[in-house]
Amino acid sequence: MAASKTVVLGVTGSIAAYKAADLASLLVKRGHDVFVVMTEAAQRFITPLSLQTMSRNPVMTDLFAEQSGWCPGHIELADRANLLLIAPASAATLARLACGLAEDALTCIALATRAPLVIAPAMNGKMWSHPATVHNTETLRARGAIFIGPDEGLLACGYEGAGRLWPVEDIAAKADEMMLRGRIDGA
């Protein structure tokens, strides 16, 4: 197991958002300090309270929420992160990240952090294979983002194909692997 690191877990508007609770729990059990940042759409699939309970830390849902101290909360998390892990990542979030838009807490953190970015997509297979999503994925990879998944299989929409979130155990193991290999130096 890797030494304790700070993982900022971004959760976006995908039906797979409910799996983020298990992922947060696994990361905590592996000894990491987990801070969840949810998009507005993610909150339609899972509650912040569930993720707060599993991560054992407050969940950021609003870029403009009151913070104690002078430093904006999203900048504090961006500076603190050893890894920014977005799981699940929706097509809309991939587009915002590729365009450099900073319109919510998660995308602001993504622009402000110097931590490695790991993205675990989850969406309808037609959305995943759409030229715009392919382009956005290529853009993010060219900037150094690491993609894990998506898996193939039966999707929540009833279609078969690529688009399933990687198993949470594999996502947690990949995060640990990156930390053990020294890809994340803790600086």
The whole-number average pLDDT for the span 58-82 is 83
pLDDT higher than threshold 60 for residue 120: yes
Cβ proximity of 110 and 101 under 8 Å: no
Other Cβ atoms closer than 10 A to 62: 13
Contacts of 172 (CB under 8 A, 6+ apart): 23, 26, 27, 30
The whole-number average pLDDT for the span 87-111 is 97
What mean pLDDT, rounded, does the chain reach? Answer: 89
For the ranges 23-27, 89-93, 171-175, 181-185, the lowest mean pLDDT is seen at 181-185
The residue assigned the tokens 């130096």 is 185
pLDDT higher than threshold 50 for residue 131: yes
Domains of the chain as residue ranges with CATH: 6-180 (3.40.50.1950)
Query: What does the pLDDT read at residue 177?
Result: 85
Query: What does the pLDDT read at residue 183?
Result: 53
Query: Is 157 among the catalytic positions?
Result: yes
Q: Whose CA is closest to 114, among 78, 77, 75?
A: 78
Query: What does the pLDDT read at residue 2?
Result: 46
pLDDT higher than threshold 90 for residue 54: yes
Other Cβ atoms closer than 10 A to 61: 20
pLDDT tens digits for range 136-180: 999 999 999 999 988 777 667 676 767 789 999 999 999 888 777
Of the listed 71, 99, 108, 157, which one is catalytic? Answer: 157
Query: What does the pLDDT read at residue 164?
Result: 84
The whole-number average pLDDT for the span 29-52 is 96
